[in-house]
Amino acid sequence: MNSPSVQARNGVEIPLLGFGVYKLNRKEHLEQAVDEAIRTGYRHFDTARIYKNEHHLGEAVRRSGIDRSEFFLTSKIWNTDLGYSSAKKAFERTLKQLGIDYLDMYLIHFAAPGYMDTWRALEELYEEGKVRVIGTANFGKARLERLMDGARIPPMLNQIETHPEYAQKELHAFMDAHGILHQAWAPLGQGNPELLRHPQLLTIAARHGKTVAQIILRWHLQRGIISIPKSANPRRIRENFDIFRFTLEEKDMRTLYALDRNRRYAIDPDGYIVNPLYNKAMRWFL
């Protein structure tokens, strides 16, 4: 079974369930995980220059023997490459690392200084047909508004921390009103044991015969949110993909919404982007 998809405003179909490769930077670990993910049915993969695994991901895609057109590949431009010319060069390096001639989606990783000029470069790459979807990651409402004010092509997607304890309701509503798709990183709360053992979620999971992780991913799916869970465990990789044959009832959805505590598990991007030491902070974060 393939993942259902959602359309970007330009009509490009994006699978609602993807596979993240953050921290899978050892070749053998990434190969094992991605090979299992492809066998399971994942075709949407999310990487970034700063993850230092674009090359290994590209090798895994080619090794699968599946046609490139069947995959949806995303990468992101890092803060040190922001700026018009730097962004163009960074994009070409990413294509070379992945071993492909176009990218399905390219995102600005953080709203660091230079993101407006970077967006001009992404608009041109999109118009040249080198990337099918352009967007942002870790942008709050204020920076999205500023970007839209100066853009010829509005962002098509924003990838942000989202999980039951940080549901991003306000930002989700804003993006939905402006045709910006919502993609969740850390959709399982970075595997927080407290969340994955929550009594109410365990009750819902038992009633559906699923794991708590599957319940959370299904919650994202029914919100229309694209999720990119990450795992190196073959069993969990398969379990995370097995979320398409059941539906959460409205009472289940309300229970998950009620867990929202506006609680980030990671650093607030707006809090350190403006700090002169933001690069040092981000190196620690990653």
The residues near 51 (Cβ < 8 Å, ≥ 6 apart) are 21, 22, 23, 24, 25
Asked if 78 and 36 count as a contact pair (C-beta separation under 8 A), the reply is no
For this structure, is 42 an active site residue? no
DSSP track, 95-114? HHHHT-S-EEEEEESS--TT
Strands (E), 89-213: 103-108, 131-137, 157-161, 181-185
Q: Could you identify the residue written with the tokens 């049915």?
A: 41
Give the pair of three-digit tokens for residue 190. Answer: 């970075």
Report CA-CA distances (Å) from 39 to 66, 258, 259: 11, 36, 34
Nearest to 210 by CA among 167, 240, 188: 240
Q: Which of the following is catalytic: 22, 42, 51, 106?
A: 51
Strands (E), the chain: 5-7, 13-15, 19-20, 44-46, 72-77, 103-108, 131-137, 157-161, 181-185, 226-227
Catalytic residues: 51
